[in-house]
Amino acid sequence: MSPIQIVAATGCPTGIAHTFMAQEALEQAAERLGVSIKVETHGQVGIENALSAAEIAAADGVIIAADKDVNAARFNGKRVVDVGVKAGISRPDELIQEILSGTAPIRGGNPVPAAPEPGEKAGEDDHGLFGDISVKPGGKFQARDLYKHLMNGVSYMLPFVVGGGVLVALSFLWGIYSADPKHPEQYNEFAAMLMAIGGTAMSLMVPVLSAFIADSIGKRPALVVGLVTGLLASNGGTGFLGGIITGFLSGYGMLLLAKLLDRLPKALGGLKAIFIFPVLGVFIFGSITYLIASPMKAINTSLQDFLSGFQGTNPILLGLIIGVMCAFDMGGPVNKAAYVTGVALLGSGNFYFMAAVSAACITPPLVTGFAALFFRKAFDEKTRDAAYVNFALGSTHITEGAIPFAARNPLLVIPILMLSSSISAILTFLLQVQVPAPHGGFLVLPVVTNGLQWVAAILAGSVIGGLIYGYAMQRRANKTQATPVETEKEVLV
Amino acid sequence: MSNILAPENISLNETAASQADVFQLIAEKAGELGITADTGAVVTGLAEREKQGTTGLMDGIAIPHAKSASITDAALVVVRLRESVEWESLDGNPISMAISLLIPEGEAGTTHLKLLSQVARTLIKPAVRAQLLAAETPEAVVEILGQHVVTA
């Protein structure tokens, strides 16, 4: 008779000490109790001693001693002892006894093969293309899961915004019309190329956000659907809020679809992954997105009419409306409505309105930059660097720079940005600033009437917003440290 | 690499009244060793890691650790106390010896990280803990940790 075989996975947020102490403790306990054990470690250097699907299948039980995600869905259907990493260190014998005595509960859900985590090395058995879709184990649904999925999308989106935004900003150095052959005095081929490349990178932002929210929820089958629906939403003019919606729709929608198709005969398994999921998924959720996105044009037009009706009204009220609209979705239908109205009014000689719109559009990225400057410790290094890049993006009217910050925490950040943009817009009205150019940020200062006042108005809104946002993030950071959760990607150590 | 664990990283006769004092001792030691110019940041790093979960182990040994941009080279710093301090350790005992892992923010080379992980691993062995608590000289501590790390 072969000895009892146990597999285990250990992991901790830092991935230096406890992960490996738990491994050692479990191995020693196994030796004392005469059972065989293999411990997979999820450390700072990645996954080591990875468990293969065959080893998991052959195991009599599983011990998870981890304070981070160790991809537990692959253990579905086995007896699993699921505890924190410290229990693995302090009472390894008890954990093994739970397996031996058969008191450990069987983990719900169907077994699913290991799928590689983003940025981590795959286990030995990467079933890849034909891997089945991951079904939520045990049906436990937690708010922090939502946050984790959202953050996954945001972290993939961020480099697109930075890379694209900086290239577009650079193209403005030749003048704000440098990419437009209709303006031969400024047109420059290299600038036009920068603009085309940067614009393409930025246009991928919303699809990538949607795709990787979906991927985090439903793995590869959902990624496809999330990417397509994200691009549909983006083309439909929904902005990044639409991308968040399509990401969750595609992710959870595909989980549901997988559940519904669970009863299909096993023989169709391969067909499911390569044919049924992509065709049905893209059709169903693509259609839903198409229908949701179609009224965007109408919303946009009616908002423009609404806003035009307000020109010449009380400057404080108008500034407030413009600020709220511009910061609401940063490139979505509401923001676009304000922007397009501003451009239209330029044609009729009203340069005050555009000044306020530009101020409200420049402010959000600057808010994130100032927040990171004032509250360094509230942001991890990567986020902080992106926030500093936002000084350049904001100064050149690339509002999108603020999107990754807003997307990770929309309910908190968007109101703060609205307030900041409103302050900037109201002050711009009160200080009688006129901006005759539709884009370019501070690069058009030479043609701005009351340019200094304009900069002061924008800085006022941005600094106030930066203080509020930074303070809010710091409080959040302190709270997160008190309760270690799924933050390993963002706040290591 | 060689000074990641050397006798000068170890003080066996220190006084501390609280966990915060111990962090301060570790940071000062790191300053003396020339692996940080900002002892305040090291203390903050240690305290922040502690908030995520105790680093106190069994038998009065703790492994406070920090990863911080203010640390320039990976190192082990060992502080043994004349009188133990409260630490919320796994077995509830106060802590009399802190074996601290200090890691630079951008540490990419896995050699250092693996070494530190092996040190942590070896502390699971009751015999090693007993030897460390009884060690009489810094050289002895280096030898105990070194031996087990190599053979682990």
CA distance A470 to A417: 12
Residues of chain B that touch chain A, judged by Cβ-Cβ distance less than 8 Å? 44-45, 48-49, 51-55, 57-58, 63, 65-69, 90-91, 101, 103, 105, 110, 113-114, 116-118, 120-125
Domain residue limits, chain A: 5-126, 143-293, 297-482
Residues of chain A with C-beta less than 8 angstroms from the C-beta of B68: 493
Which tens digit of pLDDT belongs to each residue from A342-378? 888 887 788 899 999 999 999 999 999 999 999 998 8
B96 phi and psi, to 5 degrees? -120, -5
Answer yes or no: is pLDDT of A114 > 70: no
Q: What integer pLDDT is reported at residue A343 of this predicted model?
A: 84
Answer yes or no: is pLDDT of A119 > 60: no
CA distance B92 to A149: 37
Q: Are A387 and A379 in contact (CB under 8 A)?
A: yes
Candidates A20, A45, A493; nearest CB to B120? A20
Which tens digit of pLDDT belongs to each residue from B78-134? 999 999 899 888 888 899 999 998 888 776 556 677 777 888 888 888 888 899 999
Q: Which residue has the tokens 């360094």?
A: A376
Q: Which residue has the higher pLDDT, B5 or A22?
A: A22
Answer yes or no: is pLDDT of A247 > 60: yes
Which tens digit of pLDDT belongs to each residue from A369-379? 999 999 998 88
Q: A279: how many CB neighbours lie within 10 A of its CB?
A: 10
Answer yes or no: is pLDDT of A127 > 60: no
- Interface contact flag, A484 B117, Cβ < 8 Å: no
For A465, residues 6+ apart whose C-beta sits below 8 A from its C-beta are A363, A364, A366, A367, A370, A371, A416, A417, A419, A420, A421, A423
CA distance A330 to A400: 6
Q: A217: how many CB neighbours lie within 10 A of its CB?
A: 27
Answer yes or no: is pLDDT of A133 > 50: no
Assessment of whether the complete model's pTM goes beyond 0.80: no
For A248, residues 6+ apart whose C-beta sits below 8 A from its C-beta are A146, A149, A213, A214, A217
Q: What integer pLDDT is reported at residue A487 of this predicted model?
A: 39
Q: Which residue has the tokens 């009244």?
A: B17
As a whole number, the mean pLDDT across chain A is 83
Q: Which CATH number fits domain A5-126: 3.40.50.2300, 3.40.50.2030, 3.40.50.10800, 3.40.50.720?
A: 3.40.50.2300
What secondary structure letter does DSSP report for A52? Answer: P
Residues of chain B with C-beta less than 8 angstroms from the C-beta of A16: 65, 67, 101, 103, 113, 116-117, 120
CA distance A358 to A369: 18
- Interface contact flag, A89 B124, Cβ < 8 Å: yes
What is the number of CB-based contacts under 8 A between chain A and chain B? 77
Answer yes or no: is pLDDT of A279 > 70: yes
For A439, residues 6+ apart whose C-beta sits below 8 A from its C-beta are A172, A176, A358, A397
Q: Which of B19, B37, B18 is nearest to B28 (CA)?
A: B37
H/E run at residue B14? strand B10-14
Q: What integer pLDDT is reported at residue A131 of this predicted model?
A: 37
End-to-end CA distance of chain B: 19
Q: Is A37 helix (H, G, I), strand (E, B) or coil?
A: strand
Question: In chain A, what percentage of residues exceed pLDDT 70?
Answer: 89
pLDDT band at B23 (very low <50, low <70, confident <90, very high): very high
For A190, residues 6+ apart whose C-beta sits below 8 A from its C-beta are A174
H/E run at residue A253? helix A239-260
Domain residue limits, chain B: 2-151
Q: What integer pLDDT is reported at residue B108 of this predicted model?
A: 54
Q: Which residue has the tokens 């034909």?
A: A130
Q: Which of A437, A431, A320, A419 is nearest to A363 (CA)?
A: A419
For A1, residues 6+ apart whose C-beta sits below 8 A from its C-beta are none
Q: Beta-strand (E) ranges in A60-116?
A: 61-66, 80-83
A55-64, A381-390, A416-425, A483-492: which has the highest mean pLDDT?
A: A416-425
- Residue A23 in contact with partner chain B when CB distance is under 8 A: yes
Q: Which CATH number fits domain B2-151: 3.40.50.300, 3.40.50.720, 1.10.8.60, 3.40.930.10?
A: 3.40.930.10
Q: What integer pLDDT is reported at residue B107 of this predicted model?
A: 64
Question: In chain A, what percentage of residues exceed pLDDT 90?
Answer: 37
Q: Which residue has the tokens 């010896």?
A: B97
- Interface contact flag, A484 B114, Cβ < 8 Å: no
Q: For B120, which residue in chain A has the nearest alpha carbon?
A: A17
Across the range A241-260, mean pLDDT stands at 92
Active site residue A12: yes
Q: Lowest-confidence range among A49-63, A110-124, B132-146? A: A110-124
Q: Are A80 and A72 in contact (CB under 8 A)?
A: yes
Q: Are A326 and A399 in contact (CB under 8 A)?
A: yes
